[in-house]
Structure 1
Amino acid sequence: MTDTTTIDPLAELERYRVELTGYCYRMLGSSFEAEDAVQDTMVRAWRALEKFEGRSSLRSWLYRIATNVCLDQLNAGNRRARPMDLTEPQHHATAVLKERAEPTWLEPVPDGRVLPDTAGPEQTALARESVRLAFMAALQHLPPKQRAVLILREVLAWRAQEVAELLDTTVASVNSALQRARATLAAADIREADPAEPADEEQQKLLAAYVEAFEGYDMARLTALLHDDAVLSMPPYDLWLRGHREITGWMLGTGAGCRGSLLVPTVANGTPAFAQYRPTSTRGRYEPWALQVLEISGGRIVEITSFLDTARWFPLFGLPLHLER
């Protein structure tokens, strides 16, 4: 009996889209540039598919193409940052909102776009950790090839020989690049964060308390949830504040327009996040204001990144463009 089953080449390529997007996002720091890079990779692969000789796996071949696409972009000088990488913290009473032009900012990303289903909890935890904003910001300090080596070796668990073949270099060169990359990340002193655990009852209580405190604009209760040196930043502005007194002072002053907001839960960069909607002049109607990405450590909130360009982020995260209550 003849097997008439045929393999759809396009479907075979599409199997790798999510993990390739995760790789390109870690390389580029931009969710939109990552998707463009993967699309470019798919187009190049499709056009060259007949010439693919199978000397490596299809997956390795796609990663080679994607790496070249990313390196081309990074060699053009693109580098993403957070406000904390560019300026000193300000005092809430004298803080000035200064917007910086694109491309500047490290961008958020929905988990589903970059985190494929994995075999177990350890792999899931590593994948989430590797797209945290703090880790992503540290990656931006690595030269492009060191960045690729570290992601392939430490995050994706490729063997040194496989990475050497992908980058057309030697195992010794790969090991040397990995050692230098590790030293750079160690110097960055990335703060450890509690993993996002939807089944963790204590974490869910903390997030519920945050929603109640923020929506009720209860600064005393919010202070109790924040770490003493918690950080608030608001891209595309380079302003950032450190310490719960500065954060609550800002919210009661310049940021007082957030009073009466509603928060809708979502996830971003492997961590809890909320879509913030502020009330409008029309009673019961709320408009997008920020995508808040939270980091938690030791059972308290250590960082709130409020991405204010909601016209970009809310559609990407599948969030409604207004709420009626």
Structure 2
Amino acid sequence: MDLLAAARAGDEDAFGALVLPYRRELTAHCYRILGSTQDAEDAVQEALLAAWRGLSGFEGRSSLRTWLHRIATHCALRLTRSTSTRLLSWDHGPARRPDDDLGDPVDGGRWVEPLLTATDDPERVRERREHIGLAYVAALQRLPPNQRAVLILREVLGYPAAEVAGLLETTAASVNSALQRARATLADGAPALEHVPTPQGTERGIVDAFVAAFDSGDVSGIVDLLAEQVRFTMPPLPAWFDGRADVVAFLTGRVFALDWRARPARFNDQPSLACYQPADDGTLELAAVLILSLDGERVTWMASFIGPDLLASFPLPQRIAPAEFGHR
């Protein structure tokens, strides 16, 4: 008996094996629509439960992948009705000066969140091609949910207009109209989404420079890697800084005034750092995740995420013995 037949016969293990190859793709799809890792996981859980309950209705007229994307899209769109639109720091308010008050944390799930991606996973290449980058996901949040879904299904996942119409229970003309409006919105005032590719060796060098700077408390090693118009954000705090001079001043005067250690990570298939600070028990505690957006050899956006609840949700070591970082 094949997996589909076994699953239809009520074998939950067979169903799990049947949908496992699509789990990562479905999570990325829902994440693009929702801008939140936790919301994406919730949507995928709901979608897989609906698929399990409705498996008898899957007649094979479309592929299993298409059927699962249809269910997941509707689950994600339903969730957008009960969640707030995800924002970036510059959508929330103007940039601040390096010595300004950083403000109180803005709660309520307002911020675009990062998605952890594996460093050694062959799917990483496909995720890059399918637009998992933080800037792209953030730009998508500017669109109404339906346009967001159309754009992702058409331009990221590559479904033809007629198939998207079937997925969304609308017409091909409506799909094409929504796609045009979505493209126009992204082209009007959105951050540039096309960047000069960064060679793998250059990317490694940039990460190494950031790790060395965090480990030694010295920002000078990364100054020349920053674009002139680099931005530094740190949700859930509302403060953010615009331009290399202000970013460097903030790093020098406030970030590196604290004791940090860092190790490479991978979020949104971008070079990232898991950043740790000393805890009262003598260990080092995860205190920030820093995602680096690159344009060629320059860093254009340093996205630091410091919310304790968000950090606790990541499958990263939450505490590390100092000896694991080696000698300073």
TM-score (norm 1): 0.88
> Does the Cα contact within 8 Å between 1:291 and 1:307 map onto a contact in 2?
yes
1:152-167 to 2 correspondences below 5 Å = 152-167=153-168
Q: CA RMSD, aligned part only?
A: 2.3
Map of 1:85 onto structure 2: 91
How has the CA–CA distance of structure 1 residues 125 and 282 changed in structure 2, closer, same or farther, with 3 Å as cutoff?
Answer: closer
- Within the candidate set 314, 317, 324, 2:315 is matched to 317
1:271 aligned onto 2:270: yes
> Does the Cα contact within 8 Å between 1:139 and 1:147 map onto a contact in 2?
yes
CA distance in structure 1 between the partners assigned to 2:3 and 2:92 by the alignment:
53
> Does the Cα contact within 8 Å between 2:215 and 2:261 map onto a contact in 1?
yes
Map of 1:243 onto structure 2: 243
1:195 to partner: Cα distance? 4.9
CA distance in structure 1 between the partners assigned to 2:38 and 2:223 by the alignment:
35
CA distance in structure 2 between the partners assigned to 1:5 and 1:62 by the alignment:
18
How has the CA–CA distance of structure 1 residues 317 and 192 changed in structure 2, closer, same or farther, with 3 Å as cutoff?
Answer: farther
How has the CA–CA distance of structure 1 residues 324 and 68 changed in structure 2, closer, same or farther, with 3 Å as cutoff?
Answer: same
Unaligned runs of 5+ in 2: 8-14, 324-328
1:139 to partner: Cα distance? 0.4
How has the CA–CA distance of structure 1 residues 112 and 203 changed in structure 2, closer, same or farther, with 3 Å as cutoff?
Answer: closer
Q: How many residues align?
A: 312
1:126 aligned onto 2:129: yes
1:15 aligned onto 2:21: yes
CA distance in structure 2 between the partners assigned to 1:215 and 1:194 by the alignment:
29
1:12 to partner: Cα distance? 1.3
> Does the Cα contact within 8 Å between 2:96 and 2:240 map onto a contact in 1?
yes
How has the CA–CA distance of structure 1 residues 22 and 191 changed in structure 2, closer, same or farther, with 3 Å as cutoff?
Answer: closer
Percent identity of paired positions between Structure 1 and Structure 2:
37
| Other structure's SS at 1:16 match | helix
1:5 to partner: Cα distance? 5.2
1:107 to partner: Cα distance? 0.8
How has the CA–CA distance of structure 1 residues 195 and 314 changed in structure 2, closer, same or farther, with 3 Å as cutoff?
Answer: farther
How has the CA–CA distance of structure 1 residues 221 and 103 changed in structure 2, closer, same or farther, with 3 Å as cutoff?
Answer: same
Q: What amino acid is aligned across from residue 303 of structure 1 in structure 2?
A: W
Map of 1:104 onto structure 2: 110
- Within the candidate set 186, 192, 202, 2:194 is matched to 192
> Does the Cα contact within 8 Å between 2:292 and 2:302 map onto a contact in 1?
yes
Offset from partner CA, 1:167-210 (integer Å, 9 cap, x none): 1111111111111111111111325345576xx22221222122
Offset from partner CA, 1:151-173 (integer Å, 9 cap, x none): 00100111111101111111111
Unaligned runs of 5+ in 1: none
Q: What amino acid is aligned across from residue 140 of structure 2 in structure 1?
A: L
Q: List 4+ stretches of structure 1 deviating above 6 A.
A: none
How has the CA–CA distance of structure 1 residues 53 and 6 changed in structure 2, closer, same or farther, with 3 Å as cutoff?
Answer: closer
Offset from partner CA, 1:113-144 (integer Å, 9 cap, x none): 9x9838xx6x55422xx121111111001111
1:135 aligned onto 2:136: yes
Map of 1:59 onto structure 2: 65
CA distance in structure 2 between the partners assigned to 1:126 and 1:68 by the alignment:
23
How has the CA–CA distance of structure 1 residues 98 and 196 changed in structure 2, closer, same or farther, with 3 Å as cutoff?
Answer: farther
> Does the Cα contact within 8 Å between 2:198 and 2:295 map onto a contact in 1?
no
Query: Which moved further from structure 2: 97-106 or 22-31?
Result: 97-106
Query: Which moved further from structure 2: 136-145 or 61-70?
Result: 61-70
1:302 to partner: Cα distance? 1.3
| Other structure's SS at 1:111 match | coil
Q: What amino acid is aligned across from residue 152 of structure 1 in structure 2?
A: L
- Within the candidate set 295, 298, 305, 2:296 is matched to 298
> Does the Cα contact within 8 Å between 1:150 and 1:181 map onto a contact in 2?
yes
1:103 to partner: Cα distance? 1.4
Map of 1:24 onto structure 2: 30
How has the CA–CA distance of structure 1 residues 218 and 318 changed in structure 2, closer, same or farther, with 3 Å as cutoff?
Answer: closer
CA distance in structure 2 between the partners assigned to 1:30 and 1:141 by the alignment:
14
1:233 to partner: Cα distance? 0.8
CA distance in structure 2 between the partners assigned to 1:59 and 1:151 by the alignment:
15
CA distance in structure 1 between the partners assigned to 2:137 and 2:2 by the alignment:
42
CA distance in structure 2 between the partners assigned to 1:306 and 1:85 by the alignment:
16
CA distance in structure 2 between the partners assigned to 1:65 and 1:191 by the alignment:
29
Q: What amino acid is aligned across from residue 185 of structure 1 in structure 2?
A: L
